[in-house]
Chains A and B, each alone.
Chain A
Amino acid sequence: MNIQFGSIKYQYIGLFLLAILLSFIGLFVKNDYYLNIFVLIGIQAIAVLGLSLLMGYAGQVSLGHAAFYGLGAYASGILTLHYGFNPYLAMLCGIAISAVMALIVGLPALRLKGHYLAMATLGFGIIINICFKEMASLTGGPSGLVGIPMLKLFNFTFDTSISYFCLVWAVFIILMLLSIHLVNSPFGRAFRALGSNEAAAQAMGVNTHIAKLIVFIISAIYASLAGSLYAHFVTFISPASFGFICSIKMVTMVAIGGMGTLWGALLGTSILVSLPEFLTVFSDYDVLVYGLILIVVMIFMPEGIIQGSLKLFRRFRYKETNV
C-alpha cells in the first residue's frame, strides 16, 4: 500500500485548492442551512484528522474517540457556563484534560493489540459517556447543557454561520498543515514505521510504546479541540452526541476515506456527514442505506475510497491501453 499520497509539494497544492474551493463555498453558498453542514463537516474533520493519524499512520484502533470529543465539548460548556471562564481558556483546559486522560488510558491500553485495543478503547468511551449522563450537577444529565456562549474575538462575535465557517476551516487548514509536517518529520517516520511493522520499527530503535502514546495524545487533542468548537457552535450539548455511535462514525470516516492519507479523513468526513442529507429522499430508510453503504465500501474498497478509486482508475486505463 502506498502510504503517502504525494510529496509535501503536492500536499501544499492540495491545501491551496481546498482553500480556493472553500472560499467559493463561502462566497456563493448563502443558505445558512447548507453553510451549517459545511461547518459541521469542518468540526468533525478536525477530530477525524487526529484519529486518522492514530489509525492510518500509527496503525492503532480507537473505538472510544468520542470520549475526547465529548471531554472537549463538556469542558468548554461547563467551564464557561458554571465558572465563567474565558472560552479560549476553557478550550485549553479541555485540551489539557483530554491529553491527561489519553495518557492515563493510553499507558496500559496501548500495550494491547488488535481486537483487545479496540475493546479497551470502546470500554473507556462508554464509561466516559455514562459519566456525562450521570454527573447531572455538572453536565446537566441526559438533557445536557444549554446556552453555551458563542466564541468572541476582541469585539467580534462568531454568531453567523459564515463567520464560524471561516473560523472552523481556518483551524482545519492549520491542523492539516501541522499534520502534513508531522507525518513527514522524523517522529512521523517513526510512527509510520510502527504502523506498517511494529517489530521492524522496534528493531530500528523506535520506542514504539512512547510513539503510540504520543500519537494517541495528539489525536485526543484534535478531538477535544473539535469538541470545544462544536459546543460553541451549536451552544447546546447532550451525552447522546458523544456516545458509542459517534466513536464508530469517526472510525468509519477514517476507513471510508482511506487509511494512511490525511485527505482521506477529509473525504470520509465530508461523505458521511453530508450523506444523511442526501438520504432524506429515503426518509425513514436512511439508517438502512447508511449501513449498506458501509458494508459495500468496506467489501469492495477495503483501502478506502481514495485508494480504491485510484486502483479502479488504473485498472481501467490498463485495460484500455491493452486493447
Chain B
Amino acid sequence: MIGQILQFLFSGLTNGAVYAVIALGFTIIYNATDVINFAQGEFVMLGAMFMYTFVHFLSWPVPISFVATIICVAIIGMLVEFFTIRPAKNADIISLIIITIGVSIFLRGVAMMVWGKNPVAVPPFTGSTPIVFMGAAIDPQIIWVLVITLIAMIFTQWFFKYTIWGKAMRACAVNKKAAKLVGIKVERLVSLSFALSAGISAAAGAVMAPITFASYDMGTMLGLKGFCAAVLGGLGSGIGSILGGFILGILEAFGAGYISSSYKDAFAFLILLIVLFLKPQGLLGQGEVDKL
C-alpha cells in the first residue's frame, strides 16, 4: 500500500519536475515579451533529440552531451526570437500565438526530417537497475530528473535575484518602457530570455528522454501540460510555475492511479479549467487578469 503510494508519488514528482521546468520556461518568455510561446514543447523535444544524437551517434560522454545539448537548443531559441518574434513587433495576441504555433510546426517538421518518425531510445545516465525503496521500484534516471530540474530551478531563481541581467529582466517584466528609459537594452534581454527558456526546457527534455523515449512529436503534449502548470501557479510567477508543475504532476499521477489511467491527460486540462474559472490569477499570480 505504502509502496504503491510512493510509486505514484515518485512518478508524479518526475513528471511534475519536468512540467515545472517547462512552465518556468513559459514564464521567462512571457515576462520578457508578453508572448505565450506555443513552441516551448518543441524546445523540450529538441533537447531530447540532441541528447540522443550526441550520446548515441557521436558517443560523447553524458555530461559533455548534456551541456552541448543545452547550448545548441539555447542558440535555436535565440534564432527563433530573432527571426519570428522580433520582426512581428506590434502584432496582436492572436497573431503572436499563430506565429509561435508556426514555429512549433516548423521545428517539428525539421525534427521529423532529421531524426525520422520513429521514437528513439536514449541510454540512461547511470545504469537501469531500479532502486527498491520501501516497496517502490525507482528508476535511477528519476533521481537524475529530480536533481537536474532542481538545479535548473535554483539556477533561474539565482539568476533573477542576484545577477544584473536577471534584475534587468525583472524590471522588463514590470514595465518595459520604464526599463528602456533607465537604459536597459530590452531587445538584448528578450533574446537572452529566449536562450534561457529554451536552454532549461532542453535540459528537462534531455534528462527525461531515457525514461520516455524521444520522438519528433513528443513536444506538443508536454508543452501544453507545462502551460497548464504555468497557469495553475499564476502566469508570470516563477515560484508559482514550479509549484504548479509539481502539483499538476502529483495530481495527475494519483488521478491516473486511483481514478482512471485512460483519462490521465484530461486531468491536467480539467485542473486548468477549474483554476481559470475560479481563480484565474492562479495560486501565486498577482497581476490583474483584466489587464490582458
Cα separation A289 to B228 with both chains bound (whole Å): 29
**A244-B99 in contact (CB<8A):** no
A22 at the interface (CB under 8 A from B): no
**B93-A114 in contact (CB<8A):** yes
Closest-CB distance, A66 to chain B (whole angstroms): 14
Cα separation A252 to B231 with both chains bound (whole Å): 24
B112 at the interface (CB under 8 A from A): yes
Closest-CB distance, A143 to chain B (whole angstroms): 15
| Also in contact, A116 and B280, with CB within 8 A (given A61-B94, A122-B224, A127-B270) | yes
Cα separation A55 to B292 with both chains bound (whole Å): 16
Closest-CB distance, A45 to chain B (whole angstroms): 19
**B113-A288 in contact (CB<8A):** yes
A-B contact count (CB 8 A): 130
- Contact residue among A112, A119, A298 (Cβ-Cβ distance under 8 Å from B99): A298
**A298-B110 in contact (CB<8A):** no
Closest-CB distance, A114 to chain B (whole angstroms): 4
- Contact residue among B91, B108, B292 (Cβ-Cβ distance under 8 Å from A287): B108
**B265-A130 in contact (CB<8A):** yes
Residue of B nearest to A130 (CB): B266
Cα separation A81 to B213 with both chains bound (whole Å): 39
CB-defined interface of A231-266 with B at 8 Å, one 1/0 digit per residue?
000000000000010001001100100010000000
- Contact residue among B88, B105, B262 (Cβ-Cβ distance under 8 Å from A299): B88
| Also in contact, A298 and B95, with CB within 8 A (given A113-B290, A116-B289, A120-B277) | yes
**A123-B109 in contact (CB<8A):** no
**B109-A291 in contact (CB<8A):** yes
- Contact residue among B92, B95, B103, B289 (Cβ-Cβ distance under 8 Å from A112): B289
Closest-CB distance, A219 to chain B (whole angstroms): 15
In the complex, chain B residues whose CB is within 8 Å of the CB of A82: none
In the complex, chain A residues whose CB is within 8 Å of the CB of B112: 284, 287
CB-defined interface of B106-127 with A at 8 Å, one 1/0 digit per residue?
1111101100000000000000
**B102-A298 in contact (CB<8A):** yes
Band of interface residues on A = 35 or more
In the complex, chain A residues whose CB is within 8 Å of the CB of B104: 291
**B88-A123 in contact (CB<8A):** no
Residue of A nearest to B106 (CB): A291
A83 at the interface (CB under 8 A from B): no
Residue of B nearest to A255 (CB): B98
B84 at the interface (CB under 8 A from A): yes
**B220-A244 in contact (CB<8A):** yes
Closest-CB distance, B271 to chain A (whole angstroms): 9
**B93-A126 in contact (CB<8A):** no
In the complex, chain A residues whose CB is within 8 Å of the CB of B145: none
Closest-CB distance, A127 to chain B (whole angstroms): 5
In the complex, chain B residues whose CB is within 8 Å of the CB of A244: 220, 224
Identify whether the interface residues of A are mostly helix, strand, loop, or mixed. helix
**A299-B269 in contact (CB<8A):** no
**A115-B36 in contact (CB<8A):** yes
B227 at the interface (CB under 8 A from A): yes
**B88-A302 in contact (CB<8A):** yes
In the complex, chain B residues whose CB is within 8 Å of the CB of A288: 105-106, 109-110, 113
**A299-B99 in contact (CB<8A):** yes
Cα separation A116 to B93 with both chains bound (whole Å): 11
A295 at the interface (CB under 8 A from B): yes
In the complex, chain A residues whose CB is within 8 Å of the CB of B6: none
In the complex, chain A residues whose CB is within 8 Å of the CB of B101: 248, 252, 294
**B276-A292 in contact (CB<8A):** no
A108 at the interface (CB under 8 A from B): yes
**B289-A113 in contact (CB<8A):** yes
B173 at the interface (CB under 8 A from A): no
CB-defined interface of B254-292 with A at 8 Å, one 1/0 digit per residue?
000000001101100110110011001000000001101
- Contact residue among A112, A114, A251, A284 (Cβ-Cβ distance under 8 Å from B98): A251
In the complex, chain B residues whose CB is within 8 Å of the CB of A259: 94
B241-265 contacts to A (CB < 8 Å): 262-263, 265
Residue of B nearest to A108 (CB): B277
In the complex, chain A residues whose CB is within 8 Å of the CB of B84: 295, 299
| Also in contact, A115 and B292, with CB within 8 A (given A109-B276, A134-B262) | yes
- Contact residue among B91, B99, B224, B266 (Cβ-Cβ distance under 8 Å from A294): B99
Known: A119-B231, A294-B105; 8 extra A-B contacts, CB below 8 A, are A114-B292, A116-B235, A120-B273, A122-B269, A126-B266, A291-B107, A295-B103, A298-B98
Nearest first, the 8 A-B pairs at minimum CB distance are A291-B106, A288-B109, A294-B102, A291-B105, A114-B292, A287-B109, A295-B102, A123-B269
A-B contacts, 30 listed (Cβ < 8 Å)? A61-B93, A109-B276, A113-B290, A113-B292, A115-B93, A116-B235, A118-B36, A119-B272, A120-B273, A120-B276, A123-B270, A123-B273, A127-B273, A130-B263, A130-B265, A131-B266, A134-B266, A251-B98, A252-B98, A252-B101, A255-B95, A285-B109, A288-B105, A288-B106, A290-B105, A291-B102, A291-B108, A295-B103, A298-B88, A299-B88
